[in-house]
Structure 1
Amino acid sequence: MAAGRSETQAHPRLRPPGFGLFVAEMRGILEFNASVLLSPLLMRAPRGDGHPVLALPGFLASDLSMVPLRHYLTELGYETHAWGMGRNVGGVAKMRTALLDRLARIHHRAGRKVSIVGWSLGGVYARDLALQAPEMVRDVITLASPFANDIRATNATRLYETLSGETVGGNPEFEQAIAGDLPVPATSIYSKSDGIVNWRTCLLRVSETAENIEVHFASHVGIGVNPAALWVIADRLAQRDGQFHPFDRSGPFAIAYAPPEQAQSASV
């Protein structure tokens, strides 16, 4: 009983986003349209150095959902890669070997470390890859990924368990590792208006090489095409290998970001 109480205190029970936020997810198409309209501004982001970037889709999504992001990063000068495994129907454990093989092939072909951008469940995969093979991973960027605190606090938990055959919260040791510090730079991009996952499940522990960046009013299904989020991704990927500095919120989308003090205090 004592152990159960301490575990509950460490990870208090969270609730999935309410019905209003869930219905509001339909605004994702507006975020995509905004990115199209603002594409000339987005192309002013720092240019890439040609290193490989692996884009991992979210639950129930496929590589098609990552096409706008990959196209944007390709235009900025990166060597982008799809995950190439069809629709993501979940299964962190069963996907580990295939994902590690995919990462190894990209790393071997490019001869350089690989940055990984993961949307929602794809971000959980990305963090796991960084733990398994830090020598192949340059940095990790997650988009609305539920990897911390009470990870059952999503509106997709039951469907994930049904389709993947895995129990969310059923492997505490693995989940603690995913939520902990990574051996590579990490950025978590999230929104408090997320209608699928509780935003508190997206918070990493802030450190000299890890940060949380809140994008105001972004949706879960649209954060990967949200112009303010795309700018963050481009800025973070442009950092030199082995270097990390906090995201500068004074750029062209400054109004879309919460102050760093708020983002950091939320992770405590």
Structure 2
Amino acid sequence: MAVASAELAPPSRTLLLLEGRAIPELAAFVTAYPLLASAPRGDGHPVLVLPGLVTSDRATVPLRTYLAGQGYAAYGWELGRNYGLLPGIERRMVERIEELAETHGSKVSLVGWSLGGIYARQLAKMLPDKVRRVITLGSPFKGTPKATNAWRLYEFTSGHKVDDRDHHMGGLISDPPPVPTTAIYSRTDGICAWQCCVETEGPLTENIEVRGSHCGLGHNPSVAYAVADRLAQAEGSHDPFERSGWRSIFYPQPWRAA
């Protein structure tokens, strides 16, 4: 899917105001929890969940709890609030992945929400022998970095200019990682322009569209099911996400017009 990055603007004020949907989305997650248990179960491999900008592991508790119940060893990043690439953060994330890989004797899957997804992609490029799979949730790794409603906040908290992001860890952010990668996004995202969150599809990459807010992606029932489904694939395999039957209600077909 081609994206004219020069023409992209942040989501509208209306969509930004609609981010309040995150609260009823959490209620929907709790209500749907018994049904979400029907997702494919995991094989016990470690999954590291990385939080979004200015959030912490508390924001990823619902998703990590669900993944643990599905048979994964789900972990938070344990680095406090995510204020960007402050001194030492990159090194500590690398050490966290190496620690989990050694503890479990297996590769680690990375699930990253928003800025956490950008970290996940870049870490997979740095540690391809330690990372099994990458899943991003509303992560703006394509297009202009100012096509979000949070870029000023990022510059304030991190001390970095968003235009310099390709000079940080892992190289060019828009390049896909060398491992199976799934980008989950919503066209009604009120924080990031959805076009910036879409992966270039290839043998190891895919996109899954869901309906919902940006701030609710970590506990959106459709997201949780899709994450569990993707993590359940065997190591090294990458089968397309199945949208037939009841799934077609919640997951739009990828070829519909932009």
- TM-score where L is the length of structure 2: 0.94
Alignment of 1:73-222 (within 5 A): 73-91=67-85, 95-172=89-166, 177-216=172-211, 218-222=212-216
Pick one of 23, 32, 36 that aligns with 2:30: 36
- For residue 255 of structure 2, give the secondary structure of its aligned residue in structure 1: helix
The number of residues matched between the two structures is: 255
1:225 paired residue number:
219
Unaligned stretches of 5+ residues in structure 2: none
State the alpha-carbon separation in 2 of the partners of residues 30 and 11 from structure 1: 32
Residue type at the aligned position of 1:199: W
Aligned Cα root-mean-square deviation (Å):
1.8
Residue type at the aligned position of 2:33: S
Q: What's the CA shift for 1:92?
A: 7.0
Normalized per residue, the structure richer in helix is: 1
Unaligned stretches of 5+ residues in structure 1: 1-8
Deviations 1:18-66 (A, max 9, x none): 1100010001011111111111110000010000000000001110010
- 1:92–1:125 contact (8 Å) kept in structure 2: no
Cα gap change, 1:50 to 1:162, in 2 (>3 Å): same
State the alpha-carbon separation in 2 of the partners of residues 78 and 171 from structure 1: 32
State the alpha-carbon separation in 2 of the partners of residues 176 and 12 from structure 1: 21
Identity of aligned residues (%): 47
Cα gap change, 1:93 to 1:258, in 2 (>3 Å): farther
- Asked if 1:21 corresponds to 2:15, the answer is yes
Deviates more, 1:114-123 or 1:165-174: 165-174
Cα gap change, 1:45 to 1:184, in 2 (>3 Å): same
State the alpha-carbon separation in 2 of the partners of residues 83 and 89 from structure 1: 13
- For residue 212 of structure 1, give the secondary structure of its aligned residue in structure 2: strand
Deviations 1:207-257 (A, max 9, x none): 1110011112x1000011111111110100000000011000126443121
Cα gap change, 1:11 to 1:21, in 2 (>3 Å): closer
Q: What's the CA shift for 1:176?
A: 6.5
Q: What's the CA shift for 1:104?
A: 0.6
- TM-score where L is the length of structure 1: 0.90
- 1:53–1:114 contact (8 Å) kept in structure 2: yes
- For residue 6 of structure 2, give the secondary structure of its aligned residue in structure 1: coil
- For residue 179 of structure 1, give the secondary structure of its aligned residue in structure 2: coil
Cα gap change, 1:10 to 1:220, in 2 (>3 Å): closer
